Amino acid sequence: MRSVADQWLREVLLTLYRRSTATRAEIMAETGLHASSVSQAMRPLLRHGTILKVGDLESNGAGRPREVFSLNPDAVYFVSVDLEAQRIRFALLNFVGDIRYRWEEATGWEERLEVNKVFHGISMVLRNLDSRQLSRLLAVGISYPGMLDDQGRLTAFNLGLHDFPLLSELREKASAHRMDHLPIFIEPDRHSAVVAERWLGRARGYQNGLLLFVERGIGIGLFLDGKPVEGWRNMAGEIGHWKIEPGAEDPCGCGKRGCLEAIASSPSMIRQYLESTGQPSSNLSAFRITDVFEKARQGDPAASHVVERAAKAIGLALSYAINLLNPQIVILGGDLTSADDLFLPRIEREINQNGVPQLTRGIEIAMSALGLDMRLKGAGALAFRKSLADPALLRKMCSPVSLARGSVLPAT
């Protein structure tokens, strides 16, 4: 095993992750590796059960049938955590990125992040693995909203966090929960979302696109010329704090007024609905955003106004991003996926009204197929990619799998 170049193993595994299935010829084409390098990398991976032969394609000529390979779904597991939504969401992902188990930790819209809940949730997920499976657990991926500075402090206005010492809290609490052996990779929510859509979702094959998701906050992920945009300090994507309605009074968690997030995030929409119907805003966490959407569908004027205003702000913001970046596809995700009937036509109207026709013509505006799982799947995919880069984790990934194929867990 040691004799095979790690880089070849990485490229073969990454190709199979991104493509789900591939023939040797497809792996060669995608990695640019020679046939002999691909074969040398695949031999131990097949012998150890890290990858599986899952079928044969009929020959397209005189040659023998072409074998089709995939990752062994149960070769390794990842846990992913999404800090963005109303509840902290957890998933157990198998090696092919399927969600095998879910868990949520309740927290109100206005509650601050409690890192203990992160580890409690991880432990609830891990309960579902037997000891053999636990030994194949590779890493945890955490997707966070907001901005992490170079001291590991998180500022995420939508979570009420200002310079919150996320990294040191994670280290400390991991130790308290006896999880300090677990590699944890943390990524901005925009990157998780982009990677999920490009590897597993709607953006496969596109080179220039952006995806906007609305939940507790509003985030935007960008990929340009095929690469995710990270920015100088890995903080690109803070579109939620564009002062999109300069005169508006709506207060934002960032301390300013009129931000996109203060108008069009899910809790902001609920807040506006409560205010305009004279209900106490302390009801915020008792309400679900889908309730507001449902009322708008029934023609409730307050709910309709909230949706109209949010869609207008989102559409104007997207017209700016389109004029600036000339994407081929715009993907909408998060809570918007449960209200495409309400948002898609309104957002398209705003984009067409405000964008430059040369840039909006032919552009695709689409709903994410991954819905609320966008960031959970992306955090898992990023944990996989980071694990590839770590020699010890790569060796674990490629070590012999003793499990029979087929997990004891039901798919969810």
Q: How far is the CB of 30 from a copy of itself (least distance, A)?
A: 22
Computed on alpha carbons and rounded to an integer, the radius of gyration of the chain in Å comes to: 23
Which H or E element spans position 70?
strand 66-71
Q: Which stretch binds a copy of itself (CB under 8 A): 101-109, 232-240, 285-293, 400-408?
A: 232-240
249 near a copy of itself (CB under 8 A): no
DSSP 91-145: EEE-TTS-EEEEEEE---TTPPP-HHHHHHHHHHHHTTS-HHHHTTEEEEEEEE-
Question: What's CA 198's distance to the chain center, in Å?
Answer: 10
Residues 351-410 that bind a copy of itself (CB under 8 A): 354-356, 358-359
The C-alpha atoms of residue 93 and residue 377 are separated, in whole angstroms, by 8
Which H or E element spans position 187?
strand 184-188
The C-alpha atoms of residue 56 and residue 23 are separated, in whole angstroms, by 9
The C-alpha atoms of residue 206 and residue 366 are separated, in whole angstroms, by 13
Q: How far is the CB of 349 from a copy of itself (least distance, A)?
A: 14
Six-digit token pair at 6?
């790690």
Q: Indicate the residue type of 50.
A: T
Looking at the Cβ atoms of 72 and 155, the one nearer to a copy of itself is 155
323 near a copy of itself (CB under 8 A): yes
Residue 293 and residue 338 in contact, taking contact as beta carbons nearer than 8 Å: yes
Q: How far is the CB of 230 from a copy of itself (least distance, A)?
A: 7
Residue 238 and residue 257 in contact, taking contact as beta carbons nearer than 8 Å: no
Q: Where are the beta strands (DSSP E) in 208-334?
A: 209-214, 218-224, 227-228, 329-334
Q: How far is the CB of 166 from a copy of itself (least distance, A)?
A: 14
Looking at the Cβ atoms of 286 and 324, the one nearer to a copy of itself is 324
- Site pattern 127..166 for a copy of itself (x: CB under 8 A): --------------------x-x-----x-----------
Q: How far is the CB of 317 from a copy of itself (least distance, A)?
A: 8
The DSSP call for residue 1 is: -
Looking at the Cβ atoms of 2 and 361, the one nearer to a copy of itself is 361
Residue 214 and residue 335 in contact, taking contact as beta carbons nearer than 8 Å: yes
- Site pattern 250..279 for a copy of itself (x: CB under 8 A): ----x-x-----------------------
Q: Which stretch binds a copy of itself (CB under 8 A): 80-88, 107-115, 324-332, 380-388?
A: 324-332
224 near a copy of itself (CB under 8 A): yes
Q: Which stretch binds a copy of itself (CB under 8 A): 45-53, 91-99, 267-275, 348-356?
A: 348-356
State the number of binding residues for a copy of itself (CB under 8 A). 42
Residues 159-218 that bind a copy of itself (CB under 8 A): 207-208
238 near a copy of itself (CB under 8 A): yes
Q: Which stretch binds a copy of itself (CB under 8 A): 10-18, 225-233, 292-300, 387-395?
A: 225-233
Q: How far is the CB of 241 from a copy of itself (least distance, A)?
A: 5
- CA distances, 253 to each of 83, 217, 240 (Å): 16, 10, 10
Of 325, 367, 369, 394, the one binding a copy of itself by CB under 8 A: 325
23 near a copy of itself (CB under 8 A): no
Closest CA to 15 of 91, 70, 95: 70
Strand partners, 23: 68
233 near a copy of itself (CB under 8 A): yes
Which H or E element spans position 79?
strand 77-82
Looking at the Cβ atoms of 220 and 388, the one nearer to a copy of itself is 220
The C-alpha atoms of residue 49 and residue 76 are separated, in whole angstroms, by 11
Looking at the Cβ atoms of 87 and 162, the one nearer to a copy of itself is 162
- CA distances, 154 to each of 168, 215, 369 (Å): 11, 18, 29
Looking at the Cβ atoms of 6 and 149, the one nearer to a copy of itself is 149
Q: Which residues bind a copy of itself (CB under 8 A)?
A: 147, 149, 155, 207-208, 220, 222, 224-225, 227, 229-239, 241-243, 246, 254, 256, 316, 319-321, 323-328, 354-356, 358-359
